[in-house]
Structure formats: C-alpha cells, structure tokens
Chains A and B, each alone.
Chain A
Amino acid sequence: MTLDTAWAVRWIRASAAVISEHRVELITLDRDIGDGDHGENLDRGFSAVLPKLDDLAGDATPADALKLVATTLISTVGGAAGPLYGTAYLKAAGAITGQAELDGAAIVALLTAARDGVVLRGKAAPGDKTMVDAWTPAVDAASAAQSHGSDEAGILDAAATAAEDGARATEPLVAHKGRASYLGERAIGHRDPGAQSSALLLRAAADAATGS
C-alpha cells in the first residue's frame, strides 16, 4: 500500500509524541557528552510543528508536510540539531516533490535524501558518532528491503530497526564531530543523542505506516 499525505501527517504527530516522551532521556544522553539541550530543543521544535499541521491545504502532498517540518525546525530548534534535521527534512521533501502517493522507491529516495542532507550540513562520516550512524544503516536497510520486495511499511520497519542498531553501536565510539569530540576517549560508553533521536523518528515513520 503506497503512503500518502495522511501517513506523513501521522508520522509527524508520532514524532512529536515520541520526542516529548523521550525528552529527558535525550537531555541526559546529551548532558553526558554534549551540552544537554538536545531533548529540550527538539521537543520545542516538534511541538511548534503540530499547530501548523492544521493549516496544511487539502491537496497538500507528503513533500509539503515534510517541508513544513523543515522550516519549523530550522527556525525553532537552534543548536546543531536545528540545521541538521531541518536540512534532512528539506532534502527529503525535495526528493518526493509533487508525488501524492509514495511507493517503495520513493520511500528509499526520501530516506536517502534525508541522510545526504545531514551529511551535507554536518560533514560527518559513518563512525564519527553522530546522527549519520543511525541514518546510513537505515538507508542501506531500506534499500535492501525494497530490492527484496518489501512493501512500504516493511521498508520503513527495516530502516527503523537498522537505525536503532546503529544508535546503539555509537556507544563504544570516540566522537569526531560536534561538542562531544572535545571529550576524546571520555565519550566512549555513551550513546550519541542525535543518533538516538534519529532512531526514534524513523521508528515513528514505521509505526505511522502500519497505522499503529
């Protein structure tokens, strides 16, 4: 079953809910190796998106919904996460412009563009202990699932599972980007908060596709 604007809106609402629910967890992860504002900033950003969803036009496409997320996060989140997530959603929207229904190939294109946006803005590589460590395995898994014939929900589930594994896998790493990089080996043993929030957002996308 292809995914439409209603899915995109469900994904955004589920994102706001899951970030709010995990706000303290994200703050704690960030306080350990960053500056402790990740949960607060993202919660503020997604909370600001919610009232704007009602203003989406009746003929809005999934890309319109994602663009709304992008501009709102850019103007409300601050820190490094605002521009990184804002660029991710903006590029994701760009990859599916004009499509009312998203098939598996479109979902993979959306995820790939989002990942590329994060890399473009943050210039991080896999293994740098950043959001990229959740997004890159997610894109690879989504691509593999699509080529094995999974439906859209299956593709998103594969992406979410890979992102969750990827976030966990940041724990033993030394950070090479962002404020955590100043800690050197003291960052070892801590999960990257950006990778964790990325995994939460991708799980929300999968949940929204199964209607749960």
Chain B
Amino acid sequence: MKKLINDPRRVVEEAVAGFEAAHGDLVTVSHDPIYIARKDAPREGKVALVSGGGSGHEPLHGGFVGFGMLDAAVPGPVFTSPTPDPILAATKAVDGGAGVLHIVKNYTGDVLNFETAADLAAADGIDVQTVIVDDDVAVKDSLYTAGRRGVAGTVLVEKIAGAAAERGDDLASVAAIATRVNSVTRSMGVALTPCVVPHAGEPSFTLADDEIEIGIGIHGEPGRERIKIEPADAIVDRILAPIVDDLPFASGDRVLLFVNGLGGTPQVELYIVFRRAAEALAERGITVSRTLVGNFVTSLEMQGMSITVMRLDDELEQLWDAPVQTAALRWGR
C-alpha cells in the first residue's frame, strides 16, 4: 500500500493544518480540539450550521465551510466519529445567538456523539436542533437495522440549509428545509475497489478483479449485492432504478442530478456515468434542471461512484442557486 502520509496516527492533524494553510481566507482552524470554522463566525443573529463525522470523505465536511453553507465542520479520526467535546466546542464557537443546526449522517457513532454534544450544548443554554441525513436507498429502513445511511445527499442538505440560514431563516425554518431536502433526496453507490484506512494498513474488504459491490456505504460497508463488472451504462441503470422507484420520482418532476466520485475514479468516468443517468431520467420524463459532478463525498481512494437525485421545487432551486463560497463549492460570489 502506498500513501502520501508521514505518520498514520497524524493523518487528520496534518491534513487539517494543510487545509488551514490553503484556505485561511475562508476558515479558521482550532487544533485542540480539532474543528474548522468559518472565518467570520460567529455571525450575530444567523442560524449556525455544524456538521462533522469521520475523516476520509473529503472534501466533506471541511470543504463546505464558508459563506452560504456550513459554519463549522468537525473531523473525527479516519472513518470514526468525533467525540462530543470538539462538536460542543465548535457549536459554542459558531453560535451567533440564533441557535445551531447539527447536520448528521445516519451512522450510529455520529448520531450518538452529536446527540451527546447537543445535550451538553443545551445545558449551556444553546438552542440546538438536529437533522439526520439518511438518503442511501441501498439499506432497508426498518426497525431491524440502524436505518438508512447518510451519504452523498449530505452535500445537498448542507448547501440548501446553508442558503436558508444565510437569507435569515430562523432555526426551526432552517431545520425544516434541511429535513425537506433529505425527504426528497435519494442516493446509491457502487464500489469497484476497496479503500485502505491509513492506521489499518490493509483493505477494509476485498473484491475480486472482476467484481463490484452494488450499494456500497461510504466506509466500504457492504451493499445489496456483489456482481461481475458490467459496462458503465448497465451499472448506472442498475443503481438508478432503485433510486427513482424509492421516492418515487415521477414523469414531470424537476430534479438535481449529482454524480459523486468516491475518490479513486477519474472525472472522465464520472461523466460517462452522468451521460447515461441523465438519459435514463429523460426516458422516464424527469427533467434534470440542476447538476453536480465530481468528488464531493469520498471514501479515501476507493474507485466507484454514487448517484444522487433530489426532487426540486422553486424554493429549493433558488436556495441551490444562492451564492456559496467554500473550498469545494463556490459560485455567485
């Protein structure tokens, strides 16, 4: 295994220090405890957005800190949730008196640590609400699992809720918008290769040369099934169908189509995927009116991608188009 690291135990510290050096115009970084905050936080009277989770999914979440999106991001160790301490510290640092929204991917560790931090923040008199993102259709949502996982749709929740907070919505309204985005967003991914967690030093699972995992989670957790590799169009059709059927999306809908790379797949392949996904949506009478293509929610160096479809309405479109200025998303400003 070859990686551009110095010490597997210092991966997060060194990466965060580099992020600070590169994006000091947008963010300030606290090193103990570790969190990344918007440079001009706290903003008096603005609802603050805080997200976080294990590292290894960059640019999620630090790359989305800035105007029109997150006020703070809390990176944990690679693939491990941060503890409540840094979440609490970040929450306090960015609270501008209008309350704080925690945006949490539905993984047990993330949910429990953010919940504990929210309890502690509430005890300190900070108004905290939490939105759990669970857009992954690969996992059955039932009483008998931890529920659907939060994956690439998290970016859309952070962008749109961030725009709502920026226009001056109160905490309940920002939380409601975030919940609404989650409710109209569906995702599913596929892995072509596993990834290697730096301190583990070996792949977290194995795939034969000609195998792919359909419905992969963003830490390499198993999905729906393991199959032989197929042409890109066939793979797209295989994962798009459960996404579209799940909401369901219907003819006449306007959607945002998001093709997300998992870290090790080149852009050229992501566009091949996008081409077929857009075509398949058109065949169903669904109009793609907004798009996003690139590596936004990654799984270290895993080869693969996920497709996310969000049903749009006028308000969600406006909030998506609103200005944003972060390390990984920037337009209109």
A interface residue numbers (CB < 8 A to B): 35-37, 41, 74-80, 82-84, 86-87, 121-122, 174, 176-179, 181-183, 186
Asked if B139 is at the interface of the complex by the 8 Å CB criterion, the answer is yes
Judge whether B267 is part of the interface by a CB distance below 8 angstroms: no
CB distance from B88 to the nearest CB of A (A): 10
A176 to B80, CA, bound (A): 20
- In the A-B complex, the 4 residue pairs with the smallest Cβ-Cβ separation, listed nearest first, are A83-B112, A181-B145, A79-B109, A80-B109
> Which among A36, A82, A87 has the greatest number of chain B C-beta atoms within 10 A?
A82
A181 to B222, alpha carbons, bound, how many Å?
11
How distant is the Cα of A78 from the Cα of B113 in the complex, in angstroms? 7
Q: What are some 19 contacts across the A-B interface (CB < 8 A)?
A: A36-B200, A37-B80, A77-B83, A78-B81, A78-B83, A78-B109, A79-B81, A80-B108, A82-B113, A83-B84, A84-B112, A121-B116, A174-B144, A176-B143, A178-B108, A179-B146, A181-B144, A182-B145, A186-B222
Residue of B116, B139, B146 near A74 (CB, 8 A) is: B116
- Cβ contacts under 8 Å, B83 to chain A: 74-78, 82
A182 pairs with B217, CB closer than 8 A: yes
What residues of chain A lie closer than 8 Å to B146, measured between beta carbons? 177-179, 181-182
Question: Which one of A77, A82, A177, A182 contacts B222 once the chains associate, using CB atoms below 8 Å?
Answer: A182
The interface bits of chain B over 209-241 (1 if a CB of A lies within 8 angstroms of the residue's CB, else 0) are 000000001010110000000000000000000
Counting CB contacts under 8 A, is B198 at the interface?
no
Per the bound structure, the CA–CA distance linking A79 and B107 in Å amounts to 9
A88 → chain B closest CB, angstroms: 12
The answer, among A80, A84, A176, for a CB contact under 8 Å with B145, is A176
Asked whether A179 lies within 8 Å of B113 as measured between CB atoms, the reply is no
Q: Known contacts A37-B80, A74-B84, A78-B83; is A182 also within 8 Å of B139 by CB?
A: yes
* C-alpha gap A36/B54 in the complex (Å): 14
CB distance from A100 to the nearest CB of B (A): 28
11 A-B pairs besides A78-B82, A79-B109 with CB distance below 8 A are A37-B80, A74-B83, A74-B84, A79-B80, A80-B81, A82-B84, A86-B116, A122-B112, A179-B107, A179-B146, A181-B145
Alpha-carbon separation in the docked complex, A132 to B188 (Å): 32
Which residue from chain A places its CB closest to the CB of B114 in the assembled complex?
A83
Name the residue of chain A whose CB is nearest to the CB of B220.
A35
Give chain B's interface residues, CB within 8 Å of chain A.
Answer: 76-77, 79-85, 107-109, 112-113, 115-116, 139, 143-146, 149, 200, 204, 217, 219, 221-222
Looking at chain B's contact residues, the main secondary structure is loop
B116 with A83: CB separation less than 8 A: yes
* A134 to B108 alpha-carbon distance, docked (Å): 19
Question: Contact: A83 with B221, CB < 8 Å?
Answer: no
Give complex CA distance A174, B83 in Å: 28
Best-surrounded residue of A37, A86, A183 (most CB of chain B within 10 A): A37
Cβ contact within 8 Å between A78 and B222: no
Q: Which of B81, B109, B116 has the most CB of A within 10 A?
A: B109
In the assembled complex, how far is the CB of residue A127 from the closest CB belonging to chain B, in whole angstroms? 11
CA A41 to CA B83, docked complex, whole Å? 11
Q: Which residues of B contact A37 (CB under 8 A)?
A: 80
**Distance in angstroms between the alpha carbons of A183 and B115 in the assembled complex:** 25
Q: Which residues of A contact B112 (CB under 8 A)?
A: 80, 82-84, 121-122
Nearest Cβ on chain B to A120's Cβ, whole angstroms: 10
- A179 x B221 contact (CB < 8 A): yes
Residues of A within 8 A of B204 (CB): 35-36
Closest chain A residue to B136 by CB distance?
A182
A137 to chain B, nearest CB (A): 22
Write the nearest CB–CB distance from A170 to chain B, whole angstroms.
Answer: 15
B-chain residues with CB within 8 Å of residue A82 when the two chains form the complex: 83-84, 112-113
Q: How far is the CB of B75 from chain A (nearest CB, A)?
A: 12
Given contacts A80-B109, A121-B112, A177-B108, contact A75 B144 (CB under 8 A): no
* A176 and B145 alpha carbons, distance in the complex (Å): 5
**Bound: A152/B211 CA distance, A:** 57
Give Cα A80 to B80, complex, Å: 9
Chain B residues lying within 8 Å of A83, measured Cβ to Cβ, are 84, 112-113, 115-116
User: Which of B80, B143, B217 has the largest count of A CB atoms less than 10 A from its CB?
Assistant: B80
Residue of A36, A78, A82 contacting most chain B CB atoms (<10 Å): A78
Q: A44: shortest Cβ distance to chain B, in Å?
A: 10
Q: What is the CB-to-nearest-CB distance from B102 to chain A, in angstroms, rounded to a whole number?
A: 14
The chain B residue sitting closest to A90, CB to CB, is B116
Of the listed residues A35, A84, A176, A183, the one surrounded by the most CB atoms of chain B closer than 10 A to its CB is A35
Name the CB-closest residue of B to A45.
Answer: B83
Residues of chain A lying within 8 A (CB to CB) of residue B139: 182
Query: Within the assembled complex, what's the spacing in Å between the Cα atoms of A31 and B103?
Result: 27
